[in-house]
Amino acid sequence: MTEPLRLSRRMSELGLCSRREADEWIARGWVRVDGKVVSELGSKVLPTQRITVERQAAAEQSKRVTILINKPVGYVSGQAEDGYTPAIALIKPENRWADDPAPEQFHPTQLRSLVPCGRLDIDSVGLLVLSQDGRIAKHLIGETTSVDKEYLVRVQYTKPGKLPDSDLKKLNHGLWMDGKPLLPAKVRWQNEDQLSFTLREGKKRQIRRMCDMVGLKVVGLKRVRIGKVKLGNLPEGQWRYLGADEVF
């Protein structure tokens, strides 16, 4: 027998929306199971049952914005902590990139339910994504994400000589963290003191910890790409909307 699942969880699994959005839509009577409206939170469904959503839900989802910030040092990506300012505080009209081609007009309601899709350490800079669309958050930070992220990392070798090729290979594959092997990464020299890291996972302070394991000290870290979306010429401390033609 196949076990029934919570309707909101099943909707998230199908990529229709986030669980939070699903609960909202169910409460509004916008969700049908096998053609019948289901409006009770906590309802369960079988994986074989057909789930559809009313057009209002799709219309509301299409109005949700996704914003890209070039985060400076000193801002946290999520909730305010230890007196540090969250990156969302940068999203105001005067910080919008003058060359943003998106037609959207900024409105304070766009800050509602705008959540960071992944973290960027307080002492790191570069591309940070915040979205009102639960599907994008799930796509970028879900456990099964296939979206890679690229970082430029300025380093100093703390031992005599140069980093051995064997240690560069370890950075690509072979290191363990928190009791588990890390997924393969792509790590290569950009110039004599800068590495490019491309990762598919994002453990806390992962790159700094990886570098530490092979005797490298990180002196600067910048995220330049998430999937197909690049930081490009977006100035530090400024933001723009994700374009309608851009996909991660």
The token pair that represents 193 in the structure block: 């003191």
Active site residue 121: yes
Report how many helices (DSSP H) and strands (DSSP E) the chain contains, helices first: 6, 18
Residue 129's closest CA among 17, 6, 247?
247
Pairing of strands 5-6, 115-116: unpaired
- Provide the 3-class DSSP secondary structure of residue 197: strand
Dihedrals phi, psi of 89, to nearest 5 degrees: -65, -20
| Alpha-carbon gap, residue 210 to 208, rounded angstroms | 6
The DSSP code for 209 is H
Which of 121, 123, 165, 167 is catalytic? The answer is 121
| Alpha-carbon gap, residue 127 to 226, rounded angstroms | 8
Apex 224 CA angle, 18 and 181, nearest 5: 70
Active site residues: 121
